[in-house]
Amino acid sequence: MAARMATSHSTAPQRLRSVRHEPFEKVVERHGTTVLRVCRAVLAPTAAEDAWSETFLAAMQAYPTLRAGSNVEAWLVTIAHHKAIDQLRADARRAVPVADVPERPSGNGLLDSWESDLWAALKTLPRKQRECVIYHHVAGLPYADVADVLGGTPDAARRAAADGISALRKTYLTSTRERDAEGATT
Amino acid sequence: MSTAPAISGSRDLVTALPEVDDETVRRLHARLGAAAAAAGILEVAYRTVDTPVGPLLLAATEQGLVRVAYALQDHDRVLEQLAATISPRVLRAPQRLDSAAREIEEYFARQRTAFDLPLDLRRSSGFRRSVLAYLPQIPYGTTASYTAVAAAAGNPKAVRAAGTACATNPLPLVVPCHRVVRSDGTLGGYGGGLEAKQILLMLEAER
């Protein structure tokens, strides 16, 4: 199941039947992994799991009234986005008295639990860029849907994602090179 | 030398991401089932059980067991029907089916001759409902004819309707339509296939 999540343009929800809703189980099966990735991209592992649970519980609650033909993945990512922001705000309130969510989750434990350099690199991006990269390249949303989720225009989302990718090329590759270099000297 | 894959485009980026932990998704799914039940929005819970007559789908509402289906009846299609007729809030959530699964296991182990489960028969009405209500009174290990069932359900002339009621039984096995056979002693029909009907009747006869 955790097979390659090729950008899910190919699995786009247009082929959802328009009249009836399929069993909610199918929604969880089809999108559970993507939503977990979205949550993990923004939050620490435990908070990400909580956000996943809240996302699907809220989605199941609202599912019968979801308009037929809706883009289910975009709908789920939107819910996940809001749940993630709720978690970040709660964390921020619990931690230091900052007015708003810090733009860079710098070295506050968010980075520690992931082995992957790429996830670590993702987390060094400004949140807007990170979200655009994740929502477009991982969740597979078209930029128009990314813009709906985040606010702003599709072009701005496209630019932020492009900036994010090019920043990733630098930080991700640099950090792995540095680590390889260290490994070579010891 | 770098061991990192080059990020030349979105494809490389995505394939460079670590696999999502299947175990985590399974655990979260189970947690969702419990949370949905607690929130009162788990309208249809289901699971499957393996039996000598193949995998059986069991589905329950908060009222009780609402559907038992054989593989022959196409579990995916049955789930879609439940989504369409009861609620699309259908989730694989085994816990609600624990006692049904246990009683079915006991039945196949010949440790149980009658089911003691809350049933949700809201979707059956009229004469069909009367037939379904009568079927559990056919004793384990015996059979009754469609004619006898029609009479016992209150309409001796409605033999064909009794047959239809058995054929559309939403709870085969638990509501024992397999004990209804033709007056000439041949098996008649069965939603799970005649082989399954034969297996159940033989199992009950061996006791």
Yes or no, beta carbons of B35 and A177 under 8 Å apart: no
Predicted ipTM?
0.88
> Distance from A151 to chain B by nearest Cα, in Å?
22
Asked if the domains at B22-108 and B126-205 fall in one CATH topology, the answer is no
Domain limits, chain B: 22-108, 126-205
Q: Which residue in the list B69, B78, B104, B177 is annotated as catalytic?
A: B177
The predicted-structure confidence for A60-74, as pLDDT tens digits, reads as follows 999 999 988 888 988
A118 interfacial to chain B (CB closer than 8 Å): yes
Contacts of A184 (CB under 8 A, 6+ apart): none
The predicted-structure confidence for A121-145, as pLDDT tens digits, reads as follows 787 888 889 889 888 887 778 899 8
Residue of B1, B3, B10, B66 for testing the chain A interface, max A β-carbons within 10 Å: B10
Residue of A19, A50, A72, A118 for testing the chain B interface, max B β-carbons within 10 Å: A118
The predicted-structure confidence for A42-99, as pLDDT tens digits, reads as follows 787 788 899 999 999 999 999 999 988 888 988 999 899 888 888 877 777 776 544 4
**What mean pLDDT is predicted for residues B133-142?**
96
**Domain membership flag for residue A1:** no
> Distance from B139 to chain A by nearest Cα, in Å?
37
Read out DSSP for B102-157?
HHHHHHHTT--SS----B--TT--HHHHHHHHHGGGSPTT--EEHHHHHHHTT-TT
Yes or no, beta carbons of B39 and A168 under 8 Å apart: no
List CB contacts (< 8 A) between A61 and chain B: 39, 41
B202 interfacial to chain A (CB closer than 8 Å): no
**Domain membership flag for residue A31:** yes
Strands B44-51 and B144-145: unpaired
The predicted-structure confidence for B59-95, as pLDDT tens digits, reads as follows 999 999 999 999 999 999 999 999 999 999 999 999 9
List CB contacts (< 8 A) between B90 and chain A: 23-25
| pLDDT band, very low/low/confident/very high, at A166 (cuts 50, 70, 90) | confident
CATH code, residues B22-108? 3.30.160
**What mean pLDDT is predicted for residues B147-152?**
97
Print burial letters for A92-115: b (CB count within 10 Å at least 16), e (below 16): eeeeeeeeeeeeebeeeebbeebe
**Domain membership flag for residue A153:** yes
> Distance from B27 to chain A by nearest Cα, in Å?
10
Which residue does chain B place closest to A120, by CA atoms?
Answer: B17
> Distance from A100 to chain B by nearest Cα, in Å?
29
List CB contacts (< 8 A) between B35 and chain A: 53, 57
Q: What is the pLDDT of residue A11?
A: 43
Q: Number of A:B CB contacts under 8 A?
A: 124
* Largest interatomic CA distance in chain B: 87
Residue at token pair 């009780």: B64
**Domain membership flag for residue A3:** no
Domain total of chain A: 1
Which residues constitute the domain of residue A94?
Answer: 8-185
Architecture of domain B126-205: Orthogonal Bundle (1.10)
Which residue does chain B place closest to A45, by CA atoms?
Answer: B24
B40 interfacial to chain A (CB closer than 8 Å): no
Distance CA B177, CA B185 (A): 15
Please count the other Cβ atoms lying within 10 Å of the Cβ belonging to residue B187.
Answer: 15
Yes or no, beta carbons of A173 and B1 under 8 Å apart: no
**Domain membership flag for residue A174:** yes
Q: Quick one: how far is CA B188 from the chain centroid? A: 21
List CB contacts (< 8 A) between B89 and chain A: 24, 60, 63-64
B177 flagged as catalytic? yes
The predicted-structure confidence for B3-45, as pLDDT tens digits, reads as follows 444 444 454 555 555 556 788 899 999 999 999 999 999 999 9
Q: What is the pLDDT of residue A84?
A: 85
